[in-house]
Amino acid sequence: MSGYADLFRLEGRRAVVLGAGSGIGRESALALAAHGAAVVCADRDLGAAERTAELTGSGAEAYGVDLLDTAAVERAAAELGEVDVLVLTAATNVRKRLLDYDRAEFDRVVSLNLGATFDVVRAFGAPMVARGGGSIIAFSSIRATTVEPGQGVYAATKAGLVQLLRTAAAEFGPAGVRVNAIAPGVVETPLTAQIKADPEWYRAYASKSALGRWARAEELAGAVVYLASDAASFVTGAVLAVDGGWTAIDGRYDPPAS
């Protein structure tokens, strides 16, 4: 195959990043723009989206949208026009054990992590299917397969997201639309600030990965560019782990070899 040098280039493609105001979303927007895409930085916090757009230095647009508002998601898909790449990073978590959870907290986590994904995949996926191409990328988590006390509802939504995306991959595939998930481990973002503030908790999570540390948000951006690009032209329905080996190793104990 010729043209390998251009496999990751995204010139001529329009990308929308939902949750671009901070963390992984911001880094995803920056990376997509750096590879040539025209990027729309969308976030509930329009000011944060504008700051990300300014950081790209490539004429990126900013757009305000509340993903918990189904009508607003549908309006965004209509107003933003032709979209080649859709990246969804927005998520929330309530760290409580199941017996301490109340229904309002459950609904809040499910509504954003799973309900908004449903709305986004439908609203942005329909025109991609009609046009005959596109790439949808959403963020799951290692918690879709590995759980711990206090992460039950979050884990359930991330597992549900994977199955929703796999179904979309199956249904959209004949039209040439690819749908994939990225599953990070622990990443230094605003969502994990509570853990990072506790030194013991921070060290425990760092020791759980094979690399012995947390990820930086920018270390997820390469996976986004890959799945958005022609380098992943035959990749759909996949869950790409970017977890520093967390799910590859068995616990923290390193036994003697003999």
Report, as an integer, the average pLDDT of 73-78: 98
pLDDT tens track for 1-26: 458 999 999 999 999 999 999 999 99
The pLDDT score that the predictor gives to residue 27 is 97
Report the percent of the chain where pLDDT is more than 90.
Answer: 84
Is a pLDDT exceeding 50 seen at residue 82?
yes
Average pLDDT, the chain: 94
Cα 75 to Cα 72: distance, rounded to the nearest angstrom: 5
CA 150 to chain centroid, in Å, comes to: 21
CA 109 to chain centroid, in Å, comes to: 16
Q: How confident is the model at residue 257 (pLDDT cuts 50, 70, 90)?
A: low
Catalytic residues: 154
Cα 31 to Cα 36: distance, rounded to the nearest angstrom: 9
The pLDDT score that the predictor gives to residue 10 is 98
pLDDT tens track for 179-216: 999 999 999 887 777 788 888 888 888 888 999 999 99
Fill in the amino acid letter for 171: E
pLDDT tens track for 111-138: 999 999 999 999 999 999 999 999 999 9
Is the full-model pTM beyond 0.75? yes
Going across the sheet that includes 239-242, the strands are 61-64, 38-43, 14-18, 85-88, 134-139, 177-184, 239-242
Residue with tokens 């916090």, as numbered in its chain: 45
The pLDDT score that the predictor gives to residue 19 is 97
| Contact (CB, 8 A) for 151 and 143 | yes
For the chain, list the domains and their CATH numbers.
9-187+220-243 (3.40.50.720)
The pLDDT score that the predictor gives to residue 1 is 47
The pLDDT score that the predictor gives to residue 3 is 83
Is a pLDDT exceeding 70 seen at residue 255?
no
Is a pLDDT exceeding 60 seen at residue 248?
yes
Q: Which two tokens stand for residue 18?
A: 């939902």
Which pairs from 72-76 meet CB under 8 Å and 24+ separation?
73/116, 73/119, 73/120, 73/123, 74/119, 74/123, 76/16, 76/42, 76/123
The pLDDT score that the predictor gives to residue 198 is 87
